Amino acid sequence: MTHRPKSSTAEPRTLAEAAALVSTPDLDVSPDGTFGEFGGAHLPPHLQGPMAEVAQAYADARNDPEFYAEYRRLLRDVVGRPSPVTEARRLSAELGGAQILLKREDLNHTGSHKINHCIGEALLAKRMGKRSLIAETGAGQHGVALATAAAMTGLDCEIHMGAIDIAKQHPNVVRMRLLGAKVVSVDREGRSLKEAVDSAFDVYAQRPQDYLFAIGSVVGPHPFPTIVRDFQTVVGRESRAQLLERFGALPAAVVACVGGGSNAMGAFTAYLDDADVRLIGVEPGGRSAARGEHAMTMTHGTAGTLHGMATLVIQDDDGAAAPVHSIASGLDYPGVGPQHAHFQSIGRVEYVAEDDDAVLDAFQRLTRLEGIVPALESAHAVAHAMRLAPTLPADARILVNLSGRGDKDVDYVAERLGLEGVADETVR
């Protein structure tokens, strides 16, 4: 079973056409949510009914033009879509070779691609008559985007967050509370993302009639990898139309970072049938390839089950998810979306890694040469584009999905570089 647009000729040629088509899903879905040998819904019995209900409600919404009309309206009027494509001219000139282009998801309201699927999930919850959204968050980025979508649509929102993360991510905790979300501190052994997922699932399982579990990436049991993917396809559809309109040509490569894989899925799906377009997912190489020092699921993961899905997992000998590291907290995940595992197995997408040092270099060079401060997650994709550009001809274009802005990361980077609280000069 392949998961591709029915026909590439159905892809929009102009921005006006793109705006009309944005996020009308035309990707195949298998009834059980499998992607080759990956995906599906591997759940305890008490969660099977509630997830089947979500799958049915989404299947209905997917065929409802009014549902998508409201979604498109919010993307345009609140998120600010379409996001622009920026030519990184100074960076490209310094590197030589191909031109680097940036799809500016960092300019979205709330600062990343996450708002695209959070708004979709909020509309689905309303359609299902749910009172509240519930989710986990690690660094707080998904929590803030979801709390924003809840505020916009008049839903309650409950965010579970590890006690350690709450202490580390104070501004995001305050933002979520100001947006009206209830923030639950998870003070259980570990006190981090994994415990937050378990805790949010516990509450959801007790009262599934009240909540929609709003997952933060293309992960989890069916139907979530499909739902989140569909709401992110807007990114690739727009960029494809923008490049055709401006250059009359498709890019040589599309590059995106991969944590759970939602921004990459959004960036790639519109190009699946364009055999000449290389699709490249960039994972966090971290500090080294030693166990616990990276999160390279595609190269170091093995087939397993995590958070209700069959996928690749970085795991211990006893099958438990192993500790992982990334300089970017949004990429710090021991699994990956099941459709990415499938894309790797059929060879349609290449998966590579960039380490923390290359990422910090890319962060600084994009900031200095283009005046754009990228999220550390997105800087992984920039780092790989910088490596690729000199190997390609000058008339080739590399499209980077700049998944988010780096405001959240400036204090950390300044500390790493020894810049915090230091002026360049003092006058008296």
Task: Provide the 10 A C-beta neighbour count for residue 46.
Answer: 10
Residue 262, interface with ligand PLP (CB under 6 A)? yes
Tell me how far apart the 2 most distant CA atoms of the chain are, in Å: 72
Which of the ranges 149-157, 178-186, 259-267, 295-303 carries the binding residues for ligand PLP, by CB under 6 A?
259-267
- CB-based burial of residue 202 (10 Å sphere; 0-12 exposed, 13-18 middle, 19+ buried)? exposed
Near ligand PLP in 276-335, by CB under 6 A: 330-331
C-alpha–C-alpha distance, residues 349 and 341, integer Å: 9
State how far the Cα of 286 lies from the Cα of 318, in Å rounded to an integer.
Answer: 24
Six-digit token string for 331: 């990429």
β-pairing, 38-39 with 349-355?
unpaired
Residues 134-193 contacting ligand PLP, CB under 6 A: 141
In the residue annotation, 114 being an active-site residue is answered as yes
243 interacts with ligand PLP by CB under 6 A: no
Whole-number minimum distance, CB 53 to ligand PLP, in Å?
24
The residues, any chain, with a CB within 8 Å of residue 375's CB and separated by 6 or more, are 106, 111, 112, 328, 330, 403, 404, 405, 406, 408, 409
- Write the CA distances from 269 to 28, 43, 114, 240, 349, integer angstroms: 11, 27, 17, 10, 11
Q: How many residues of this chain bind ligand PLP (CB under 6 A)?
A: 18
Question: Does the protein bind ligand PLP through residue 110 (CB under 6 A)?
Answer: no
> Residues 114, 130, 194, 408: which is the catalytic one?
114
Q: Which residue is nearest to ligand PLP, using beta carbons?
A: 404
* The two three-digit tokens of residue 178, written as one number: 């100001």
Query: Which DSSP state fits 216?
Result: S
How many C-beta atoms lie closer than 10 Å to residue 147's C-beta?
30
263 binds ligand PLP (CB under 6 A): yes
Residue closer to ligand PLP, measured from CB, 19 or 282? 282
Say whether residue 401 binds ligand PLP (CB under 6 A).
no
Determine contact, residues 401/381, Cβ cutoff 8 Å: yes
Q: Which of 11, 105, 121, 136 is catalytic?
A: 136
Q: Which position among 220, 221, 260, 335 is part of the footprint of ligand PLP (CB under 6 A)?
A: 260
Residues 48-67 that bind ligand PLP (CB under 6 A): none
Select 33 or 260, whichever has its Cβ closest to ligand PLP.
260
Q: Which of 5, 12, 220, 259 binds ligand PLP (CB under 6 A)?
A: 259
The verdict on 378 binding ligand PLP (CB under 6 A) reads yes
Binding residues (CB under 6 A) for ligand PLP: these are 112, 114, 141, 217, 257-263, 330-331, 375, 377-378, 403-404
The set of catalytic residues is 114, 136, 403
